Amino acid sequence: MSKNLRGNFKWMAVAGASLLGACGVPGDETAANGEGLAQGAQELAARDVSVRLSSDKATFGAGETARVTVTLTNDSRHAVKLLKWYTPAEGLEESLLQVKLNGEDVEFTGPHYKRPAASEKDFLTLAPGESLSRTVDLGEVYDLSRTGSYSLRFEVATEKLHGNSAKAGLLKSNDVTVWIEGRAAAKPATDGPTTIGSVTYSGRCSTTQMATLTDALNAASAMANDSSSYLNGTPSGTPRYTTWFGAFSSSGWTTAKTHFAAIKDAFDTKPITVDCSCKKSYYAYVYPNQPYKIYVCNAFWSAPMTGTDSKGGTLIHEMSHFTVVAGTDDHVYGQSGAKSLAISNPTNALNNADNHEYFAENTPFLQ
């Protein structure tokens, strides 16, 4: 994650950008981003918040940290609340920058999180005229292995940034172009792994934690096997399938079947590592291109072993993120958001990690 470095800049490429969208609440995605929690400050109005992107250098050698600064400013006369997950306040925890090289999207290689529903502590408040600036290391979360001229822009959906207190829209910054010499991808630090059977534990897991994780892995394996067996049955628009993956289609069923066959195989045969070092309030996260290592966080330990948002289900969620498994994303969080997504966009539901988790947990039970 970003080290949140700060500095004085000799060269700046900055320009303001206006917020697109106005007050209002879209459909049923409330569990994902904590609808209503941003109401303490006045709801968002058009042009309340602007964002600019800047860099202190136009060129970065292979041995230099490719840094850019993101500045969010409250341009209104009232306080506004922003969901920290979609700001650089604690580093880039999401793909908040549109990064292109030669017109092609550059891959986001940062962590994919499973989070509980947002609470008040997950928001930050900007007073009228106040700005939030953070400097982030692009190489920590984007693939900068190729040399060339990179085009950068901060871009986030307004309904995510404001916890669903804004209509759908985009907050965009100015474009910044920097020349970056290719470098090896950053990798998270590791320490003192312990291997028991086919599972490796890292991040200083305690004996109790390792025992809990063994049970959680067994629960996840059982869920994956049940889901795979279910999808090996006759394809049809069953309540279980349509609730989590939307209107039935043979191609959609095949996609789900393929995903769960790969998830089952990963739990049954792959060398899994679970890391206990995360202290965030989230459930867990993975780096999609670093299978099969799962980092578990604080919310994981208090979750039930099975059932909704369980330990076993969390491991299903994270396993589905790996590119070599199912390559899922996080379009929405929570059962409410996942059900709504299945109705409105079955394609995205089949690409959403929580939809896979809830299908596997099957709580409440559906045929």
Give the residue numbers annotated as catalytic, written as ranges. Answer: 318
Closest by alpha carbon to 74, among 87, 93, 57, 90?
A: 87
38, 143, 297, 298, 310 from 122: Cα distances, Å: 10, 28, 15, 15, 21
129, 214, 243, 244, 253 from 240: Cα distances, Å: 49, 28, 5, 7, 12
The tokens describing 320, both together, are 């589905």
Closest by alpha carbon to 118, among 59, 163, 166?
A: 163
Helix axis angle, 207-231 to 250-269, nearest 10°: 150
Report how far residue 261's alpha carbon sits from residue 258's, in angstroms, rounded to the nearest whole number. 5
The tokens describing 209, both together, are 């934690």
Strand order in the sheet with 49-54: 49-54, 67-74, 131-137
Report how far residue 339's alpha carbon sits from residue 60's, in angstroms, rounded to the nearest whole number. 45
Residues in the chain: 367
- CB atoms near residue 254 (< 10 Å): 12
Beta-bridge partner residues of 89: 91
Q: Which residue has the tokens 């549109």?
A: 98
Report how far residue 153's alpha carbon sits from residue 100's, in angstroms, rounded to the nearest whole number. 9
Burial of 105 (0-12, 13-18, 19+ CB in 10 A): exposed
